[in-house]
Amino acid sequence: MEWLIAKRGDVNAIYNFNCSDKYATPEEFTLKDGTPRPILGYIDLLYGVVIMLLYVPCLCVMLQKDNIRLSCFKIMFLLGFVDLCAIGVNSVTNGILLIEGAVYCSHPLTIFITGALGLGLWCSACMICLILVLNRVLDILFPTLVKRYFAGSRTTMVLLIPVFYGVYFCFFTPPLLFTSRYQAWFFDPFIYENKTLEYQNYPHTANNLFIVVATCMLYGYFCAAIAKQFRKRVESTNKKSHTQIFLQSTLICLVNFVAAMIYVYMQFFPVADFVIVIGHISWQLGHGCPAFIYLFMNTTIRNGVSRIFRLKRPHVHTKTTTTVSMVGHPGHHHHSSSIH
Residue 250: exposure state from Cβ atoms within 10 A (0-12, 13-18, ≥19): middle
Residue 181 phi, psi dihedral angles, 5° rounding? -60, -40
Q: Which residues of the chain have pLDDT under 50?
A: 234, 236, 316-340
The pLDDT of residue 118 is 95
CA 114 from centroid of its chain's CA atoms:
15
**Residue spans per domain, the chain:** 1-10+21-309
The pLDDT of residue 199 is 86
Q: Please answer whether residues 52 and 91 qualify as being in contact, where contact means their C-beta atoms are separated by less than 8 angstroms.
A: no
Q: What is the CATH number of domain 1-10+21-309?
A: 1.20.1070.10
The pLDDT of residue 227 is 72
| CA gap 304, 33 in Å, rounded | 48
Give Cβ neighbours of residue 82 (< 8 Å, ≥ 6 apart).
121, 124, 125, 128, 166, 287
Q: Percentage of residues in the chain with pLDDT exceeding 70?
A: 81
The pLDDT of residue 110 is 93
Residue 322 phi, psi dihedral angles, 5° rounding? -120, 140
Q: Percentage of residues in the chain with pLDDT exceeding 90?
A: 33
Element (H, E) at 186: strand 184-186
The pLDDT of residue 331 is 38
The pLDDT of residue 212 is 81
- pTM of the predicted protein model: 0.83
| CA gap 243, 237 in Å, rounded | 10
| CA gap 130, 137 in Å, rounded | 11
